[in-house]
A and B are shown apart, each in its own frame.
Chain A
Amino acid sequence: MIITWLGGLLSRRLGRLLAVSAGIALAVALIAALGAFLTASQSTMTARALRSVAVDWQVEVQPGANPAEVLRRVTAAPDVIAARPLQFASVKGFQATNGGTTQTTGAGVVVGLPSDYRSTFPQQIRTLSGADTGVLLGQQTAANLRSRPGDTIRIQRAGRPAVVATVTGVVDLPLADTLFQKVGAPPQSQPSAPPDNLLLLPSATFSRLLGNSPFKVQIHVARRPPAQSSPEAAYQAVVGAGRNLEAQLAGGALVGNNVAAALDAARSDAAYAQMLFLFLGLPGAVLAALLTAALVGAGASRRRNEQALLRTRGLAQRRIGQLAVVEALVVGVAGGLFGVVAALIAGRIAFGPASFGISTAATAMWFAGAFVVGLLIAGLVVLVPALRDLRGLTVADARRSIRGRTNPWWMRAGVDLILLAGAVGVFIASSRNKYTLVFAPEGVPTISVSYWAFLGPALLWLGGALLLWRLAIMALAHGRRPLARLIAPLTGRLAQPGAAALTRQRHLLARSIVLLGLAVSFAVSTAVFNATYRQQAEADAQLSNGADVTVTPAPGSRTSPREAAVLAATRGVREVEPLQHRFAYVGADLQDLYGVQPATITSATALQDAYFQGGSAAQLMNVLAANPDAVLVSAETVQDFQLNPGDLLNLRIQDDTTKKMRTIPFHYAGIVNEFPTAPRDSFLVANANYLAQQTGSDAVGAFLIDTGGRNQPAVAAALRHEVGTRATVTDISHVRAEVGSSLTSVNLAGLTRLELTFAVLLAAAAGGLVLAAGLAERRRSLAIISVLGGRRRQLRGLVLSEAAVVTIGGLSGGALVAWGLSVMLVKVLTGVFDPPPSVIAVPVGYLGIAVVAVVAALTAAAFAAARTSTRPPVEELREL
């Protein structure tokens, strides 16, 4: 019996079985592909975190301990590849005399480096000009002293005579914050910025010049990378190793665990990646399951009839149940297999073989899990309804096709409104902790993830869908006349009964509308999220680089803004904007100060409103233009100095004529959080003309260059050729690869492609397959109407009317839900964005493609059904 039934299913219901299997395959493929990608991305995050660390450990020898003994023990510790001792001495300052004037800096630090330090830790020091070895001056110190390679400087020692050294090079320390950390101190006790003045000396020179001064010894350590692939596991391993070393040293030294700190940040990003999987992957899988359920539901009437027939012919309920099990198994296994194959293909296309799946075992685990989910979906949507009908319905009940004329229980209980209220409640609760989803206090071994926040968008999605269902049913129940008018152009004289039929089938139609709405809202919100993420990643890159291409004159050089004309003549350059860069003391705090041309700054770089407080970007630039002595400061400065708008703020800035610091009055006009090329800590933005007039110099710190977003590497190469060694040229494509969190480093482009492809597929399937399945069930009705004299045009009109109702309802309802969902998703996932967005990005192109795909799928399904409806009616009736 089972074999016969199976044969019948495969020969007579193959199309429906394939459609249901396709729905299951979508869910399986989405889970398998995203899961494998998630595992792979965590490995990428670990690797990136490890790459970002120049020195794995900074082991600081404690007073009284023997540095040589500590070095011996560190070198002998497991997994240590190299250990090099450095000396750190504090000095009163540096002095240089150039062009008849003498410049003196504040307090500084001198570091003694072993001869092979730079080759052992190549990321630590970057040469800007001059030699790689010898007496190396920090960039800012060189700027303060106006010194270049070959100049002589005086090192002012505390309580001892100054000593002299000849500068051989100017260097930059990209990871100065880490290098000058206070080893063993908690984050809140760490210095807010590295020392302003810095000199690097060979160890021997250090001993010669500063050997008699007090100094501390730090041992810099390179270790083998941890074997663990996930950031969390790797973090646990390196923290344990660091503590083990501290225990062995018995108080002789403290370990500054830089690699653990980097992994600490990466594990937060890994947790965010999990959240993204949850937010973007799970709804897709749920949607695919709902789609499958709807496909099965569209054939429920026929299934009940078949069950009724089998029961009237005496087949026991148990045997009928077994037939349902066979059907569920067939579609579950087929869907699972299709899904796994689809995931493999989609993963390879989206991510490439290298980054898809961390290892065969991890990928296989995800694939096996997804396959089991496919079987569960098959059981839930195929087996459970069949068994429920079998137990709950009489034969007469089972033969009814227009079921559910009363509103469902959830509608009567107002579940949709309750869910929406819940969504708002969770959203408000999330906003109270500033949408912090991942809590990872530094130094705390475990992180916590607020999965509750996921409830907000989830409840909104479900509540919105149920509200759409309610509205669709209300509109169809009470809008028969407008509906008749709407479909009249398609159905002609059949408009009235056609509208009546649509009204009576409102529960079936509402289900199709809701499913399409859910799919559309999933596609739109996913697309909006991804577009906003890309927008902010780009903004982050632009903030770091300043513009498409940035030309930074060498330290100590004096570059006139008129150089902009030379740069503007380079092929591919659209706009050039000079940006002044100075240092200013706010009280005793030295901060970066940027002088901008408020009227033209946005011609070369983008300023988002989110970068500022107290006004939009345009408003605050207008303030700078209208009030030349206005200054924008960081929120931290406002708090530290208790500033109110309009307050006088005296800044001490070096005068170019006298080379001495002088006080220049400014007035506080607003807060700036981010600015192109500016550091993440406190800085100031002022009017360039006022700054030039007050300091006697219009020297440019950087030229921001707009290329129209195209050919940045080529334009940068041309500019390098133009400026030679006079300036450093960086382009955004290079910076894009360097900046950002490890989350950004994940192949988000591949993930986006995968998600967006699935979203379009789901939306098209929700529209096309469900409509096709529903219309297939109405072939008998269409055949009867044909026998009674219905023309082809009228039959086609009826089919297209149904498609139009589903399309209009699904797209408009889905767009509304998507709007709310997108806004909430971007807010809730604020932590993923850097910098936080001021506006969400709407990917018009993708949405256009999605709408076209959905409409095309619906149209194809409708026309296929319409073509079937014009087949000879008796042939149709005979087949059913």
Chain B
Amino acid sequence: MTSGDALVICEGVSRVFGTGSRAVVAVHGTSCVIEPGGRVAVIGSSGSGKSTLLHLIAGLEQPTVGSVTWPGLPLAPDRAFEIGVVFQSPSLVPALTVEENVALPLILADTPEGEWRSRAAEALGAVGLDDLAGRLPEELSGGQGQRVAVARVLAQRPRLVLADEPTGQLDRASGQHLIDVLLRTASQIGAALVVSTHDRTVADRLETHWYMHEGRLHTSSGERILS
């Protein structure tokens, strides 16, 4: 596979927060490529720069140095519809129902109401939450909230799914179940999946492992950071 087929290419990317003596380098000189259909685990301890890297890949952050390009994805602003993001913290709109939260990317993409309703129902069914469609986010547990976020990605049908520590607030069983859902969802829609985690059992479910340590990315499998 050539770089022309890649979804995302990062070249020498650095991201620095703050200036002067208070500057913090979150990501340092990172280069990587995400291929269509890829399954990547970004592994690293807390504060290693995993979330910032995912934000750079999603286009939510601008690199301080280097470039991020999306040759396999459309130009902004339509690119947002082809990248699905699952955040570590709750990322549902409190005033919208579960169904409306799931359908939100479709509504933003001007999808007809009939279609977004059926796709939202389908996505909620896939994560086993179809009976909670009318609930508000505050009525859900933490695990249910994350599954709704996954259902949103499923309904969105992006070509790249980025999940930032999606199991961070869940117990092991719930975390494994969520990873099952994510993998199944990515397979169903044929999307590439990048999951950041510090949990080895989660990482082991994915084919490719990248390691982050103090802002530097190591894509070779020989270097293990995790204990």
Within 8 Å CB of B93, what residues of A?
501, 781, 784-785
A874 in contact with B113 (CB, 8 Å): no
A781 in contact with B94 (CB, 8 Å): yes
Please provide the chain B residues from 66 to 94 with a CB less than 8 Å away from any CB of chain A in the complex: 77-78, 80-81, 85, 87, 89, 91-94
Give the complex CA separation of A872 and B96 in angstroms: 22
User: Contacting chain A: which of B2-10, B28-36, B103-111, B195-203?
Assistant: B103-111
Within 8 Å CB of A501, what residues of B?
93, 95-96
Given contacts A788-B80, A877-B87, contact A872 B95 (CB under 8 A): no
Q: Which of B77, B87, B110 is within 8 Å of A493, CB to CB?
A: B110
Within 8 Å CB of B136, what residues of A?
402, 504
Please provide the chain A residues from 489 to 541 with a CB less than 8 Å away from any CB of chain B in the complex: 493-494, 496-497, 500-502, 504-505
Instruction: Report the minimal beta-carbon distance from B110 to chain A, rounded to whole angstroms.
Output: 5
B95 in contact with A496 (CB, 8 Å): no
Give the complex CA separation of A497 and B156 in angstroms: 17
A401 contacts partner chain B, Cβ-Cβ < 8 Å: yes
Given contacts A399-B138, A501-B93, A788-B104, contact A496 B113 (CB under 8 A): yes
A788 in contact with B60 (CB, 8 Å): no
Within 8 Å CB of B94, what residues of A?
401-402, 781
| Interface size classification for chain B | 20 to 34
Please provide the chain B residues from 133 to 174 with a CB less than 8 Å away from any CB of chain A in the complex: 136, 138, 152, 156
Question: Which residue in chain A gives the minimum CB-CB distance to B55?
Answer: A874
Please provide the chain B residues from 49 to 73 with a CB less than 8 Å away from any CB of chain A in the complex: 55, 58, 60-62
User: Contacting chain B: which of A122-130, A461-469, A656-664, A789-797?
Assistant: A789-797
A789 in contact with B109 (CB, 8 Å): yes
A335 contacts partner chain B, Cβ-Cβ < 8 Å: no
Of listed A493, A784, A788, residue having the most chain B CB within 10 A = A788
Within 8 Å CB of A500, what residues of B?
95-97, 100
B92 in contact with A784 (CB, 8 Å): yes
A814 contacts partner chain B, Cβ-Cβ < 8 Å: no
Q: Which of B81, B85, B87, B95 is within 8 Å of A505, CB to CB?
A: B95
Within 8 Å CB of B60, what residues of A?
787, 872-874
Within 8 Å CB of A788, what residues of B?
80, 104-105, 108, 152, 156
Give the complex CA separation of A504 and B101 in angstroms: 14
Question: Which residue in chain B gives the minimum CB-CB distance to A792?
Answer: B77
Of listed B62, B94, B113, residue having the most chain A CB within 10 A = B94
Within 8 Å CB of A794, what residues of B?
108
Give the complex CA separation of A262 and B136 in angstroms: 70
A400 contacts partner chain B, Cβ-Cβ < 8 Å: yes
Q: Which of B81, B92, B95 is within 8 Å of A789, CB to CB?
A: B81
Given contacts A496-B113, A874-B60, contact A790 B108 (CB under 8 A): yes
Within 8 Å CB of B95, what residues of A?
402, 500-502, 504-505, 778, 781
Within 8 Å CB of A505, what residues of B?
95
Give the complex CA separation of A494 and B152 in angstroms: 16
Within 8 Å CB of A872, what residues of B?
60-62
Within 8 Å CB of A400, what residues of B?
138
A787 in contact with B100 (CB, 8 Å): no
Of listed B96, B113, B152, residue having the most chain A CB within 10 A = B96
Within 8 Å CB of B89, what residues of A?
877
Of listed A402, A789, A794, A873, residue having the most chain B CB within 10 A = A789
A497 in contact with B104 (CB, 8 Å): yes
Proximity bits, B184-225, A CB within 8 Å = 1, else 0 = 000000000000000000000000000000000000000000
Q: Which of A781, A789, A873, A874 is within 8 Å of B108, CB to CB?
A: A789
Give the complex CA separation of A505 and B95 in angstroms: 7
Proximity bits, A866-878, B CB within 8 Å = 1, else 0 = 0000001110010
Give the complex CA separation of A127 and B180 in angstroms: 109
Within 8 Å CB of A778, what residues of B?
95
Question: Which residue in chain B gives the minimum CB-CB distance to A788?
Answer: B105
Within 8 Å CB of B81, what residues of A?
789
Instruction: Report the minimal beta-carbon distance from B80 to chain A, rounded to whole angstroms.
Output: 4
B91 in contact with A496 (CB, 8 Å): no
Proximity bits, A759-786, B CB within 8 Å = 1, else 0 = 0000000000000000000100100110
Give the complex CA separation of A791 and B78 in angstroms: 10
Within 8 Å CB of A493, what residues of B?
107-108, 110
Given contacts A402-B136, A497-B104, A872-B61, contact A789 B96 (CB under 8 A): no
Instruction: Report the minimal beta-carbon distance from B10 to chain A, rounded to whole angstroms.
Output: 16
Instruction: Report the minimal beta-carbon distance from B93 to chain A, rounded to whole angstroms.
Output: 5
B96 in contact with A401 (CB, 8 Å): no
Instruction: Report the minimal beta-carbon distance from B195 to chain A, rounded to whole angstroms.
Output: 17
Within 8 Å CB of B108, what residues of A?
493-494, 785, 788-791, 794
Give the complex CA separation of A874 and B87 in angstroms: 10
Give the complex CA separation of A497 and B103 in angstroms: 10
A789 in contact with B77 (CB, 8 Å): yes
Given contacts A784-B92, A791-B77, contact A497 B138 (CB under 8 A): no
Give the complex CA separation of A872 and B61 in angstroms: 7
Q: Which of A399, A402, A496, A874 is within 8 Å of B107, CB to CB?
A: A496
Instruction: Report the minimal beta-carbon distance from B197 to chain A, rounded to whole angstroms.
Output: 19
Give the complex CA separation of A789 and B77 in angstroms: 7
Give the complex CA separation of A332 and B109 in angstroms: 48
Question: Which residue in chain B gives the minimum CB-CB distance to A301?
Answer: B94
Q: Which of A399, A402, A781, A789 is within 8 Å of B105, CB to CB?
A: A789
B138 in contact with A402 (CB, 8 Å): yes
Give the complex CA separation of A41 and B99 in angstroms: 64
Question: Which residue in chain A gives the minimum CB-CB distance to B87?
Answer: A877
Give the complex CA separation of A872 and B62 in angstroms: 9
Within 8 Å CB of B109, what residues of A?
789
Instruction: Report the minimal beta-carbon distance from A127 to chain B, rounded to whole angstroms.
Output: 81
Instruction: Report the minimal beta-carbon distance from A554 to chain B, rounded to whole angstroms.
Output: 81
Within 8 Å CB of B62, what residues of A?
872
Instruction: Report the minimal beta-carbon distance from A546 to chain B, rounded to whole angstroms.
Output: 65
Give the complex CA separation of A842 and B212 in angstroms: 70
Please provide the chain A residues from 320 to 379 with a CB less than 8 Å away from any CB of chain B in the complex: none
B138 in contact with A494 (CB, 8 Å): no
Within 8 Å CB of A781, what residues of B?
93-95
Within 8 Å CB of A787, what residues of B?
58, 60, 80, 85, 91
A494 in contact with B107 (CB, 8 Å): yes
Instruction: Report the minimal beta-carbon distance from B226 to chain A, rounded to whole angstroms.
Output: 25
A401 in contact with B138 (CB, 8 Å): yes
Instruction: Report the minimal beta-carbon distance from B168 to chain A, rounded to whole angstroms.
Output: 15
Give the complex CA separation of A497 and B107 in angstroms: 8
Of listed B78, B80, B156, residue having the most chain A CB within 10 A = B80
Give the complex CA separation of A794 and B104 in angstroms: 13
Give the complex CA separation of A496 and B104 in angstroms: 11
Instruction: Report the minimal beta-carbon distance from B47 to chain A, rounded to whole angstroms.
Output: 13
Within 8 Å CB of A496, what residues of B?
107, 113
Instruction: Report the minimal beta-carbon distance from B22 to chain A, rounded to whole angstroms.
Output: 15
Instruction: Report the minimal beta-carbon distance from B84 to chain A, rounded to whole angstroms.
Output: 9
Question: Which residue in chain A gives the minimum CB-CB distance to B104?
Answer: A788
A497 in contact with B96 (CB, 8 Å): yes
Instruction: Report the minimal beta-carbon distance from B126 to chain A, rounded to whole angstroms.
Output: 19
Instruction: Report the minimal beta-carbon distance from B50 to chain A, rounded to whole angstroms.
Output: 14
Give the complex CA separation of A789 and B113 in angstroms: 17
Question: Which residue in chain B gives the minimum CB-CB distance to A497?
Answer: B100
Give the complex CA separation of A877 and B87 in angstroms: 10
Of listed A494, A787, A790, residue having the most chain B CB within 10 A = A787
B61 in contact with A874 (CB, 8 Å): yes
Question: Which residue in chain B gives the minimum CB-CB distance to A782?
Answer: B93
Q: List 7 additional contacts besides A497-B96, A501-B96; criterion CB under 8 Å.
A: A401-B94, A500-B97, A781-B95, A784-B93, A785-B104, A787-B80, A788-B80
Q: List 14 A-B contacts (CB under 8 A).
A: A493-B108, A494-B107, A497-B107, A500-B97, A778-B95, A781-B95, A784-B93, A787-B80, A788-B80, A788-B105, A789-B78, A789-B105, A789-B108, A877-B89
* Interface residues, chain A, with chain B CB atoms under 8 Å away: 399-402, 493-494, 496-497, 500-502, 504-505, 778, 781, 784-785, 787-791, 794, 872-874, 877
**Top 6 A-B pairs, shortest CB-CB distance:** A789-B80, A501-B95, A400-B138, A874-B60, A789-B108, A781-B93
